[in-house]
Amino acid sequence: MPRARLVWGTALVAVVVAVAVGVFLVVRPTADVADPGPSATPEQVVRAYVDAVNARDFATANRIAGVEHMRYSRFDRAGRFDDLTITGADRITRASDGSRSSGDDYAQAWHVRFTARQSGHDISMGPEGTIQWGYVVVRNSGAQPWRIIDAGHA
């Protein structure tokens, strides 16, 4: 009887270790993406954010994201944007009619648009395939790093 317990105990420990290793391999970053510095363009910031999310480098993605709803935790299931092509970048200026946009509270704000093949996102992104998307990238001075504060269909 003690030998059977030892065998079952060893098997249980082996299964727990295998599951733990499997989870680690699934959720670990696949690459280290460099933080875009203050000299980066808004387009480079968007590429760095997308590259970081695709690589599950959520530490870098979360430093770029300026709002909580765009941040990831280690176990989040993040979708992917592949074959990203920047299609435009426009400076956001205050509207003369008094209407507001997400970049109005910042000295420098840009809307960066792109197309990409998206997969694995939630249903709000629409069906998998090519999508037109955009991010609002902001900062208050050239000495600050850019932050992404909004996203949506471009």
Compute how many other C-beta atoms are within 10 angstroms of the C-beta atom of residue 38: 11
Q: pLDDT tens-digit profile of 39-71?
A: 999 999 999 999 999 999 999 999 999 888 888
CB 55 within 8 A of CB 72: no
Q: Residues near 124 by Cβ (< 8 Å), separated by ≥ 6?
A: none
Domains of the chain: 31-153 (3.10.450.50)
Q: pLDDT tens-digit profile of 102-118?
A: 778 899 999 999 999 98
**pTM of the entire predicted model:** 0.77
